[in-house]
Amino acid sequence: MVDDPVYQHIVLDTATCTVVSHPLVQRLNYIRQLSFSYLQFPSATHSRLAHSLGAAKNAELAMQGMFDRGKCYTTEGEKDLPYDVMARRSEYTKKAKITALLHDLGHGPFGHALDKYIGFRDPGDPRPSPDKYYTAKYLEAYLRATLEQEKVGLDAKDVAAILRPQRRGLEEIDSLIADLVDSPLDVDRMDYLIRDAHMTGLSMGFTNIMALIDRMRPYRQGSQYLLTYDRSAVPYIEHFLYARDAMFINCYEHLRKLAAERAFTKIVDGLLSDENLGISGDDLVGLTDEQIMVLLSGIGSGSETRSKLVSHLIYNTEFRLVHEVALSPLAEERTVKIATEELLAMNQTDIADWIAKIRSGSTAACRLSRDVREWNEGALEGLQGKPKETYILKPKYWEEIIAGKSIGADRAWQVLVVVPSYEVYPAELSATRILVKDPSGGFRAEEFFNVSGVMREVLDNLMVQRRKIRVFCSADVLLEEEKELKKVAIEVLGQ
């Protein structure tokens, strides 16, 4: 029995207790859910294990609700869940609960801060979600025996298949569990949103997740059951999506957290690039927050740069925002407006010169530097482009250039460049499926944004606020030096 600040009380059955007791699962108790957010929100020190238990609780409630109703929905209408499915109710509920419990198993210390760096470090095998890769690896290598013993009774391959992003070959209720644990509106997001809001004190993150869980509906499509929501869930989903993006702006991508995570990955990059140390990414991913900080403190003493950055993290020394560049449609509109005004006042010779300046990025019409515009194009290409160059090499290059032209190359550790996460460049917005009844009496699973008339524009506008390249300097940079640093940052990145 576990007391919990979100659900008040969580009761774990024998199977769940057995899995929770495994050392790799207990390791999640020593990894903070919100990375370096505690530097800004001192109470935000809750663990990934607490979150995983909450996700498991939500999965259990969701499965119980759908089985209690005993209905599924098809193009032909509302049907009773088949007898063979209902007969395996306890088995499916247990599978959903333990799969939700293990969904974060592969996260490294400080979570996404390390994940995003490790994921793109190998240009030949980029992984946007390395935690899923390590989850599958750990399930096979270390948890198979625990899951397959009699008091748990689950096939490790089944659990791994449900958690695999591709989900090939999933049928029947396994496909429903996959949606439940990992989809645009799943039990994972439902827990972390209200848990993080509670632990940070950011009330904007609170939303009625019980209203969402009660409105979950299984939709039968071929041999699969898909997760959909009753149409009455639309206003709750709208609130949830707004709350989620508001938390990104005010918590998950808070400036203090972003700067700390960049400082952290600079230290890690130094360690992994040092051939004398012989440390691999796999070595670091398996550690806890405290273990990696002890490691960084010890090995960091061999490098002035690493040592000073570690001190900044330990003593919570602020990095000040020096400059930021917006990568938004509004910026493009402003560029077009300025370009049009300039063109109207030019003769043919001037236009030729202007075009040359445009190409070099040296005109007022190009508020973004050519380098930044190329970076933006690379980010839009995603994994099809060059993710290592986009997310690891280019920020490091900019830090060195900006420092070298302002405060000196030997002080590059005092400059941090943070680029937007690849997550802010989605191919298309998605927010689950809504169950819609046709005039014929049958049902269809409709894309949420085809049902909600307002949220696409709202979320687009919120996403714009997240598409920024930011330059920080350490607090011990003098104000006069900071002015010069800003001047160079504008020269290198634009404005």
Residue 458 has pLDDT above 90, yes or no: no
pLDDT 10s digits, 130-178? 888 899 899 989 999 999 988 888 988 889 889 887 766 778 899 999 9
Show the domains of the chain with their CATH numbers: 2-254 (1.10.3210.10), 255-424+465-493 (no CATH)
| Entry pTM | 0.86
CB under 8 Å, gap of 24 or more: what pairs does 64-67 form? 64/93, 65/213, 65/214, 65/216, 66/216, 66/217, 66/218, 67/92, 67/93
- 196 against 356, higher pLDDT: 196
Torsion of CA 64, 67, 71, 75, to 10 degrees: 80
Beta pairing class for 77-80 and 224-230: unpaired
91 CB-near residues (< 8 Å, 6+ apart): 153
For 127, 204, 315, 363, 417, the CA distances from 39, given in Å and listed in that order, are: 28, 20, 9, 40, 19
Residue 9 has pLDDT above 80, yes or no: yes
Round to the nearest angstrom and report the end-to-end CA distance of the chain: 54
Region 450-460: mean pLDDT is: 83
Q: Would you say 375 and 100 are in contact if contact means Cβ atoms under 8 Å apart?
A: no
Give the pLDDT band of residue 363 (cuts 50, 70, 90): very low
Determine the Cα–Cα distance for residues 335 and 238; give it in Å rounded to an integer. Answer: 33
Determine the Cα–Cα distance for residues 439 and 442; give it in Å rounded to an integer. Answer: 7
pLDDT of res. 387: 85
User: Which tokens belong to 305?
Assistant: 């740069």
Report which residue type is found at 298: G
Q: Considering only 87-91, 115-119, 187-191, which range has the smallest mean pLDDT?
A: 115-119
Q: Would you say 99 and 181 are in contact if contact means Cβ atoms under 8 Å apart?
A: yes
- Give the other-Cβ count within 10 Å of 62's Cβ: 26
In 3D space, the residue among 320, 278, 271 whose CA is nearest the CA of residue 292 turns out to be 271
pLDDT of res. 335: 42
Residue 453 has pLDDT above 80, yes or no: no
pLDDT of res. 379: 86
pLDDT of res. 332: 43
Give the pLDDT band of residue 334 (cuts 50, 70, 90): very low
DSSP E strands: which ranges in 36-162? 71-74, 77-80
